[in-house]
Amino acid sequence: MGTFAVKWVNPSCEKHPGVEHHTFLSPSMNCEVGYNVYTPPGYVSTNKRYPVIYWLHGAARGGESIGVEHSRILHGAIQAKQLPPIIMVFPCGGRGTLYYDSPDGTIMAETATIKELIPLVDGNYRTIADRGARAIEGFSMGGFGALKLGFKYPELFCSIVSGAPAIVDWERASSLPVRKNYPRDFTKRMWDDDRGFFESDHAYAWLDRNSGVIRRELRIRIVVGDQDRLKGLIDRFHDRMEELGIPHEYEVLEGVGHNRVQVYDMAGLKGLRFHAASFAMMQDSGKS
C-alpha cells in the first residue's frame, strides 16, 4: 500500500477573486509548503490593516486548495456590505494529519501553521497582528484542527468556527489504513503508534487543560448535519463543553450529511458573521 507521504504544495486549477497561491520554505520540515491568501477589495489601494481568518481543510485529498472556493462567500458578502473587509488564509495541513506534528519531526502540520505561516502572513500582509483580530475555522479534519489549535493556542485566536469536526478517538484514527486505504505505516509515521501521544495532544485534552481561558477568551461555533456519520462523536464533544460550562453555538443542519459544500451553502455566511462579531466585540472591549 506504499509509504505515507504528504504533498505540501497543491495549487488550484481554478481562479477565485482576490485569491493568490504562494509557498514558503518551512524551517521545521525543510520543504516548500503551499497556502492561498484571499485579500479583500480595496486591499491594494489602501493602507488599512485587516482581521484574518485561517481556514483549515479536511483529510480527503488534503491540501491548501481544498475549500478555497469558500472565499467567494466572504468576497460576495464584503461586496454587498454585509461584512467588513477580512483577509482569509488557507494553509496546507497535509492529508490525514489532524494538524498534529509527528513525533519524528518529519510531518509538522501544527508547527507549519502556527509557528511558521501565521508570523509570515503577519509580516507580509497588512493584518491586525493580534488575537482579537484573528480567527480559525475548518471542516472535518480542519474542523477538528480549528478546535485543537484554537484550544491549544488561545492567545492567538478570539474566534473558532468548526464545521463537522472529525473528533475521532484513537480506535477510529488508528483504523484509517484499513478504512480509507491509507498506507499501512500511516499511524506509525503520524503518531508513532502511540495512543498516549495521540490523546495528550487531542482537542479533548486541550479543552480540559485550558477550559478556564477558553471559557473567558474564545467565542466558539460548531456546525454539523443531522445525517453526518460523525454526529455522535460531535454530540459527545458538545456535551463535554456543556459540562465544563464553555459557552458556544451548536447548530445542527437538517438533511445534511458529511458534506462540505452543503454545510457552507447553508451556514458559511453565518460563520463569517460570527467571526466578524467576534472581531467587533474584541475591538469594543479594547482587547484588540
Report pLDDT digits (tens) over 208-220: 999 999 999 999 9
User: Taking 50 as the threshold, does the pLDDT of residue 153 lie above it?
Assistant: yes
CA distance 100 to 110: 5
Three cell numbers, residue 27: 524551517
Q: Among 121-130, 185-194, 273-282, which stretch is predicted with the lowest mean pLDDT? A: 185-194
Domain spans of the chain?
A: 33-285
What are phi and psi for residue 249, nearest 5 degrees?
Answer: -90, 140
Q: Quickly state the pLDDT bin for 3 (edges 50, 70, 90).
A: low
CA distance 52 to 128: 8
pTM of the model: 0.96
Q: Among 72-86, 111-125, 173-187, 264-278, which stretch is predicted with the lowest mean pLDDT? A: 173-187
Q: Quickly state the pLDDT bin for 60 (edges 50, 70, 90).
A: confident
DSSP of the chain: ------------SS--TTEEEEEEEETTTTEEEEEEEE--TTTTT----B-EEEEE--STT-STTTTGGGHHHHHHHHHTTSS---EEEEE---TT-TTPBPTTSS-BHHHIIIIIIHHHHHHHS-B--SGGGEEEEEETHHHHHHHHHHHH-TTT-SEEEEES-----HHHHHTHHHHS---TTHHHHHHTT-HHHHHHTSHHHHHHHTHHHHHHH-EEEEEEETT-TTHHHHHHHHHHHHHTT---EEEEETT--S-HHHHHHHHHHHHHHHHHHHHHHHHHHT--
Report pLDDT digits (tens) over 93-109: 998 999 999 999 999 99
Report pLDDT digits (tens) over 62-76: 799 999 999 999 999
**33-285 maps to which CATH number?**
3.40.50.1820
In terms of Cβ atoms closer than 10 Å to its own Cβ (0-12, 13-18, 19+), residue 239 is exposed
